[in-house]
Structure 1
Amino acid sequence: MTPQAGQVVFTRGGVSESVHQVHVAVVDPSGGVTASCGDAGLVTFPRSSSKPVQALPLALAVPDLPDDELAIACASHTGTPEHLAVVERLLARSGSTVADLRCGTHPPFDTGAAADLIRRNEQPTPLHHNCSGKHAGMLLACERNGWPREGYTEHGHPLQVRIRELHAELGGVGLDDVRAGTDGCSVPAFALALDATARIFARLAAPTGELAPALERIFGAMTAHPFLIAGPGRLDTTLMPLVPGLAAKMGAEAFYGLALRETPRGPLGVAFKIADGGERARPHVALAVLEALGAPMTDKMRTLAPAALTNWAGREVGGVEVTLPLEGV
């Protein structure tokens, strides 16, 4: 029988206003599920939580790549000047330019950076896309592996074939268990069971085998450069420095992956999916998971997911109730 799913309930005036169902899988370095709630076998898309895997061919092909450039290849960045400078440096390594990026274009997520573009009467370019670092890294991985840069986003391209294989290998599943769609930035998005994605993050927390040096470098790059992984006010950037030994990566539609090195149980990988894609519930689930796994809660951490809801006038108008029946904790 499937364990009971978790819930995040937003209330107003004592009445439940919104309910978000949560599925969680916690995996140890041996690959075993040690705790879960909801459906640990739920097949879903990690979306950008896959970026550490998508950066693996780059880390393997360029073992001397600076940490900040490896971090930006794992990032869903907010388009600040600091982010763009690192992406441009990474692009230049393969002799590529912004015109070679196939991620599409959107305004910077950072409101200050977006306002600066408007003030200068400039249009955003693919460089401002939150996935431009990943795409720049993919172009360099292609160049170093002797694969064509043209068509690097296509499902049949050697790079994307390899990335799918890595999802299967790290997730401990067969290749047929890794289903494919297309992401918002045009590269393949791979769907697999929630516990398989948690297994990937457990391997990131405690690397073993041939991939260990590259995984170790990715973990180190993410934790050394939390600002590059996301940006001002974003959960990854704020949370990682507050939890020793944590590499965290958010994905669209309220997915989250966490690689934890320092818990009372040792290293763990966590993946959770908020079923309705309600991203405002994500920090509440992340903190509840961390607390359940023994991470010390600080006042600064609790500010990321306040229990009280206030309106624009600063009045308390409601609250947030989190129920996370993690079996095995």
Structure 2
Amino acid sequence: MSGPVDMVEVWRGNLLESIHQGHAVVCDEAGEIVEAWGDPEAVIYPRSSCKMIQALPLIESGAADAYNLTSDHLALACASHNAAAIHNDLVSAWLSDLGLSDDDLRCGPQTPRDAEVRDALIKIDQSPCQIHNNCSGKHAGFLTLNKHLGGGPDYEKIDHPVQQANLAAFEELTGETSPAFGIDGCSAPNHACTVHGFARSLAFFATAQDRSDTRSKAAVQLVDAMTKHPELVAGEGRACTELMRAMDGNVALKTGAEAVFSAIIPEKRLSVAVKITDGAFRASEAAVAAILVKLGVLDLSHPATIKRMTPTVTNWRGLEVGHIRPTAALR
């Protein structure tokens, strides 16, 4: 069993100052490894990069159709959003349509990442709500599924039917029995798997258009929603949104806490799973961008690519003092 490998370098002047290590796997349509870095069998929490798996039961169960959810709703169910107005307004309307409110969410309040919304709350001396949580779209999806199933209010608990449905989908797609679960930042369970297992689950989404079963149709809907609405999946200035736009909606991307990144590439029937061991987002963004360039789906010269894959390091005066780049193994 190998360990993590050097994946991203941070240079200051002519000195290599820091190195980020990690694991990554590219899977083909059969879920087999096409290329790997580090240890494919390393066990990780996918965190928010697996939200599309958590959204599958929402569609499979019939809940999405029963409550007339659109592609906007489905994109938001897969999102880690900025809590900009477009996100907050949609979540608020979604809860209202369900006859529910902010009080029914179990994700907890969070300061909006969107500066305009954050500053507006400060000006009126109002505390953030749970709707402002970056996972509120996922939780609105949980609440929709819960209402359809007739479950109790504590839908975030591991033994609740909503979370048991999520676990079943996760284990079936990864092809693994999850060895552990942790509680995510939004209070929902997050199940562990290997990097290969995670990439294998993403390969299911990358090939879903080739099949006609209920789960595959649901997967197609989610990928289409993410690529159609990149601004809902994350938001302005975010890697997921900017890189999906750079690839003209041909690839679905999703980041997760502690530097996990996932990519679904239907046109090539490939998937990518990345985990940086020290949890640095700058490294996971650089690594996934480098792999997407390597796979021929992301333009090396696109501004969004340069911003994430080979950004400059600047100081407080705005002076360029260094740069970040993928290691030779990824380039």
**Post-superposition shift, 1:65?**
1.6
The corresponding residue for 2:286 is: 284
- Map of 2:160 onto structure 1: 157
1:7: which partner in 2? 7
Q: Do structure 1's residue 65 and structure 2's residue 69 form an aligned pair?
A: yes
- 1:54 is aligned to 54
Counterparts in 2 of 1:84-95, with a 5 A limit? 84-95=88-99
Deviations 1:107-148 (A, max 9, x none): 101122111111122111111010111111101101112322
Q: Which range moves more in the overlay, 317-326 or 98-107?
A: 317-326
For the Cα contact (< 8 Å) 2:282–2:308, is it kept in 1? no
Distance 1:307 1:235 in 2: 12
Greater shift, 56-65 or 252-261, is seen at: 56-65
1:32-83 residue CA offsets vs partner (Å, 9 max, x unmatched): 1111000111100110012111111112222342010111111111111110
Looking at structure 1, the residues matched to 4 and 201 of structure 2 have their Cα atoms a distance apart, in angstroms, of 24
Q: Which moved more, 1:201-210 or 1:95-104?
A: 201-210
SS state of the match for residue 55, structure 1? helix
Give the TM-score normalised by structure 2: 0.92
CA–CA distance in structure 2, aligned partners of residues 307 and 136 of structure 1: 35
Deviation digits for residues 229-280 of structure 1, max 9, x if unmatched? 1111011111101114100000000000000123xxx211110001000112
Match of 1:143 among 137, 142, 147: 147
Q: 5+ unaligned residues in a row in structure 1: which ranges?
A: none
How far is the alpha carbon of 1:214 from its aligned partner? 0.5
Deviations 1:147-191 (A, max 9, x none): 22x110001001111111111111122x3x352111111110111
- For the pair 1:171 / 2:188, whether they are aligned, the reply is no
**Map of 1:197-208 to 2, 5 A cutoff?**
197-207=198-208, 208=211
AA aligned opposite 2:223 = F
Could you tell me which residue of structure 2 aligns to residue 190 of structure 1?
A: 191
The structural deviation recorded for 1:17 is 1.8
Greater shift in the superposed pair: 54-63 or 1-10 = 1-10
CA deviation vs aligned residue, 1:81-102 (integer Å, no higher than 9, x gap): 1101111122123321100011
TM-superposed CA distance for 1:317, in Å, is 1.0
Matches within 5 A, 1:11-90: 11-60=11-60, 61=62, 62-63=64-65, 64-90=68-94
Seen in structure 2, the aligned counterparts of structure 1 residues 81 and 308 have a Cα distance that, compared at 3 Å, is: closer
Supply the distance in 2 between the matched residues of 1:193 and 1:324 (Cα, whole angstroms): 25
The aligned length equals: 321
Give the distance between the partners of 2:328 and 2:56, measured in 1 at CA.
32
Matches of 2:275 and 2:285 in 1, distance apart?
A: 12
Q: Distance in 2 between matches of 1:18 and 1:186?
A: 33
Structure-2 residue corresponding to 1:270: 272
Q: Deviations over 1:195-222 (max 9, x none)?
A: 1111121111111443111101000111
SS of 1:304's equivalent in the other structure is: helix
Q: Hey, what does 2:109 align to over in structure 1?
A: 105
1:6 and 1:324 in contact (8 A); partners too: no
Residue 307 (structure 1) shift? 4.4
Equivalent residue number for residue 299 of structure 1: 302
Contact 2:259/2:279 (CA < 8 Å) preserved in 1?
yes
Q: State, as a whole percentage, how many aligned pairs show the same letter.
A: 37
Which secondary structure state, in structure 1, belongs to the residue aligned with residue 290 of structure 2? Answer: helix
Aligned residue in 2 for 1:247: 252
CA contact (8 A) 2:181 2:191 kept: yes
Shift of 1:283: 2.1
State the Cα distance separating 1:306 from its structure 2 match: 3.2
| Matched-pair contact (CA < 8 Å) for 1:259–1:269 | yes
